[in-house]
Structure 1
Amino acid sequence: MRLTVFGATGAVGQEIVRQAAGAGHEVTAVVRDPARLPEGLRAGDLHGVVPLDDTAAVRGAVAGRDAVLSGLGSRGRRAGDVAERLTGRVLEAMEAEGVRRLLVVSAAPVGPEPADDPLLDRAARRVIGAVLKEVYADLARMEAALAASDTDWTSVRPPKLTNGPLTGRYRTVTGGTPRSGRSIARADVAHAMLALIDEPGAVRQGVGVAY
């Protein structure tokens, strides 16, 4: 497949690029700062690198693609409108070029709570939600923009992210959140995103992922 990856300098984005290229896909990266892209990715895995602030180049990077994947988002607690604003640029480029399939990274607290989640998990979620309130609000606005768009989007919603190895073994819940889902490695989030590209049941849905 021909894929475009936004946020390829981020931890999830780098995993998407590595795994996609390793599977033989043609990958183009769109990044905020091309200088931050690891040399190994730039030289060995990418069809091209495009700066996010070059509107014409971004449109060219998504034109004719089979799917677009995004790891864009805040790198800290004070998110502002990072995910909403940058994903808005992605949507503009895709809609201008008539490209439909989009997968993005969101977060588990943006989705519904499992009805049978233990009390301890519910309490922990409240604490984390208070600490990362701005981040989750930004992601919720991003998801609202997705829902208002004409794209065939999927929002992948992980809990706490770790730097663990790729396992390929995790739970997914379309339209919901795995019970007691407390963590998942960034590598497995990338794996899930790639696996969901051709999943019709995930189109215009949030998908919870966790161990």
Structure 2
Amino acid sequence: MGKVKRLRQKFHNAAVKSKDTATDKVSTEERDQNEPFSPVFPSEGLFSGIQIPDGVLKQQLPDDFDTRSAITTKSLKGLQLKKKDKKKLRHEIWLQKVDAIQSAKKKMKEKKKRERNPIVGDMMQLEETLPTLELLLKGDQAPKAEQNKRSSITCKKNKGIQKEKTRRRQMQEDMNLFKQVLRHPAYMEKPGDTMLEHLQNKLKQEEDMDT
């Protein structure tokens, strides 16, 4: 026995047709004829209000202007590298970071080492190595034998390195002496004359020791 088919029923309502369709069509045509049409092409003087300098018009663009103005996947994401090249690039960047960290640690270590070494303020060795005022005044007038004698007296044999405790004590004494000199009223009043008088007394003391 064959399959019995039934006709489908339409459940939507039919469109309501207007009785005055012809009159509506005529009214729209009349309205379109009465309204003026806008021109497709503009009138003359389109660029009358625009001022373009001559330098811009004579400008010559580079040859690769079109290629650089186009947005591509390479310009956005960079060059497409192989997996091996990417691995090599990452390794080089890692080595640079390691070198920078190692150099920073080395500099910090050297800085701390320099900070631990105090500046020794032993003024006696500096005074012994500097020439006296007499040698500066005489210059080449004194004979070479006299100069050699003076240099042998002034240039004493270098002593060994003192202990750290001794050097610290000597440095503290030199600092206290320097502060006393700065607070002395004669130095505060005339520092230049005071220093000159000290040098003269020192020179006289050396002459007395020689005789």
TM-score range, shorter chain: under 0.3
Higher fraction of helix: 2
- TM, length-normalised to structure 2: 0.17
Q: If you compute each CA radius of gyration, which structure gives the higher value, 1 or 2?
A: 2
TM-score (norm 1): 0.17
